[in-house]
Chain A
Amino acid sequence: MSPSKPLLDVTGLQKSFGENTVLSSIDLRVNPGQVTALIGPSGSGKTTVLRCLNGLEQPDAGTVAFDGGPQVNFDSRTSRQQRESLRTRSAMVFQGYNLFPHMTVLQNVIEGPVQVQRRPKAEVIAEAEQLLARVGLAEKRDQYPHELSGGQQQRVGIVRALALRPSLLLFDEPTSALDPELVADVLTVIKELAEEGWTMVLVTHELTFAREVADQVVFMDGGVVVEQGPASEVLRAPREERTRRFVHRLLNPF
């Protein structure tokens, strides 16, 4: 464990949809520069954790704190402002990309920085062009999302998140909607970002990728964290029987 202050500290996060308890009590610490992979069977609550961090869902209880920001306590009634202050610390990359279809690639990327963060447009465009070039999409800047392949759209989705300059990147199964031959392009970009020192939390079913890139792996099942620890331990030598079965099934599907 790094002795530095965690970038993100989540305690006792709870969320139910009606009768259905999705998160029982989730604790999560993410250190700066660390890559955390959330793994687990579908319905285990991984995506809900991300959505709570990004303010897309309102947790029923628990606390979320970013380094340098206030601890937002969801046990009491949180104000909208507090929730929105959380959202500005992270940016989400969606499974289904969710690019804005009526905007070009460049417009998609600069929309947040220009319209929300009110940064100077020329500066934002220059930065956006650099980011697009980095993911190999410089020449696509004036095209519309429907003119791109899924892998290209997802790379735009990543650039749109980066352009917001968040402290934390959230990836919600970023390659699950992609054709198999396009997965590698997107994973390569994510890996490069990890090597550059971006802090990220990643919901993924790509265990081989998680093993290679993640510092910390969190295995969730039924709304609780079953096991968490360094990737090498959780994925190679899981302590818990449930983790062992899940990892085995994913790595040996037949």
Chain B
Amino acid sequence: MTIDWELAASSFWPMLEGAIKGTIPLTLASFSIGLAIALVVALMRISRNRVLAGVARAYVSVIRGTPLLVQLFVIFFGLPSIGVNIDPWPSAIIAFSLNVGGYAAEVIRAAILSVPKGQWEAGYTIGMSQTQTLRRIILPQAARVSVPPLSNTFISLVKDTSLASLILVTEMFRVAQQIAASSFEFMALYLQAAAMYWVICLLLSMVQVRLERRLDRYVAK
């Protein structure tokens, strides 16, 4: 087997461009929106309102029980048949956000529940309302607990965005596919794509370690 190194080198820049213009913004947008959804869903699940808790539980169950690719296809290829046409980019962001929302909701819910009940009571005794206690006392502590599992979600998302190539979003993997299709150098291009995803995830793991260290300053070793 021979690998065309020159082609690999010349396709690095277009692929990097695909990462910068596709993979990274897609990941960041979906993760931010997904986290916001997750926080709301987590609070709904914890709430004493049975309807809200039930809706949240059903949402999490559907998201976790169906493949991401199917979710993506339902939104992009399925919805048009009931008259809802969404462009590739928004389709991808909607699908990935909803997906992150489902997974991260469980992480955030567990993190909130891991904060001892006495912390809520201490918030109340200094006169705080439930919302104030949640925001100032509980969530900062839950955030620390959530960083490792949420980093997993984030890193999975980086790789999952490659699925968007299937609904014609020009992200890094679609660039690799296009070059491979015209040059027939499948091995070179796909290995290169794999290497580039790996480097991105490696960098993210390093960010995770630093973030954890920063949040750890108030925790007994």
Is A160's beta carbon under 8 Å from chain B? yes
**How far, in whole Å, are A22 and B151 apart by their CA atoms in the complex?**
46
Is B141's beta carbon under 8 Å from chain A? yes
Chain A interface, DSSP helix/strand/loop, else mixed: loop
Chain A positions within 8 Å of B, measured between CB atoms, are 54-56, 84, 87-88, 91-92, 94, 96, 98-103, 111-112, 115-117, 144-146, 160-161, 164
A112 touches B218 (CB 8 A): no
Which residues on the B side are within 8 Å of A164 (C-beta)? Answer: 126-127
A100 touches B122 (CB 8 A): yes
Interface size on B, residues (CB 8 A): 21
**A144-B218, A146-B218 in contact; A91/B136 too (CB < 8 A)?**
no
**What are 16 A-B contacts with C-beta separation under 8 Å?**
A84-B129, A91-B126, A92-B125, A98-B116, A98-B119, A100-B137, A101-B219, A102-B141, A102-B218, A103-B218, A111-B126, A112-B126, A112-B128, A117-B127, A144-B217, A160-B126
Which residues on the B side are within 8 Å of A144 (C-beta)? Answer: 217-218
Q: How far is the CB of A242 from chain B (nearest CB, A)?
A: 31
**How far, in whole Å, are A92 and B136 apart by their CA atoms in the complex?**
19
**How far, in whole Å, are A99 and B141 apart by their CA atoms in the complex?**
12
Q: How far is the CB of A56 from chain B (nearest CB, A)?
A: 5
Which residues on the B side are within 8 Å of A96 (C-beta)? Answer: 118
Which residues on the A side are within 8 Å of B159 (C-beta)? Answer: none
A100 touches B119 (CB 8 A): yes
Q: How far is the CB of B52 from chain A (nearest CB, A)?
A: 19
**How far, in whole Å, are A100 and B126 apart by their CA atoms in the complex?**
11
A54 touches B125 (CB 8 A): yes
Chain B positions within 8 Å of A, measured between CB atoms, are 116, 118-119, 121-122, 124-129, 132, 136-137, 140-141, 144, 217-220
Q: How far is the CB of A157 from chain B (nearest CB, A)?
A: 9
Which residues on the A side are within 8 Å of B122 (C-beta)? Answer: 94, 98-100
B118 touches A94 (CB 8 A): yes
B218's nearest neighbour on chain A, judged by CB, is A144
Contact of B141 among A54, A94, A101 (CB under 8 A): A101
A98 touches B218 (CB 8 A): no
Which residues on the A side are within 8 Å of B217 (C-beta)? Answer: 144
A99's nearest neighbour on chain B, judged by CB, is B122
**A96-B118, A101-B219, A115-B136 in contact; A56/B124 too (CB < 8 A)?**
yes
B124 touches A111 (CB 8 A): no
Q: How far is the CB of A112 from chain B (nearest CB, A)?
A: 3
B137 touches A87 (CB 8 A): no
A94's nearest neighbour on chain B, judged by CB, is B118
Q: How far is the CB of A101 from chain B (nearest CB, A)?
A: 6
B127 touches A112 (CB 8 A): yes
**How far, in whole Å, are A195 and B44 apart by their CA atoms in the complex?**
48
**How far, in whole Å, are A145 and B219 apart by their CA atoms in the complex?**
9
**How far, in whole Å, are A30 and B3 apart by their CA atoms in the complex?**
88
Contact of A116 among B126, B144, B220 (CB under 8 A): B126
Contact of A98 among B121, B136, B144, B220 (CB under 8 A): B121
A116 touches B218 (CB 8 A): no
- Seed contacts A146-B219, A161-B125; 4 additional CB < 8 Å A-B pairs: A92-B121, A98-B119, A100-B122, A103-B218
A101 touches B218 (CB 8 A): yes
A91 touches B125 (CB 8 A): yes
A115 touches B132 (CB 8 A): yes
**How far, in whole Å, are A101 and B144 apart by their CA atoms in the complex?**
11
Q: How far is the CB of B123 from chain A (nearest CB, A)?
A: 8
Contact of A88 among B119, B127, B136, B218 (CB under 8 A): B127
**How far, in whole Å, are A101 and B137 apart by their CA atoms in the complex?**
9
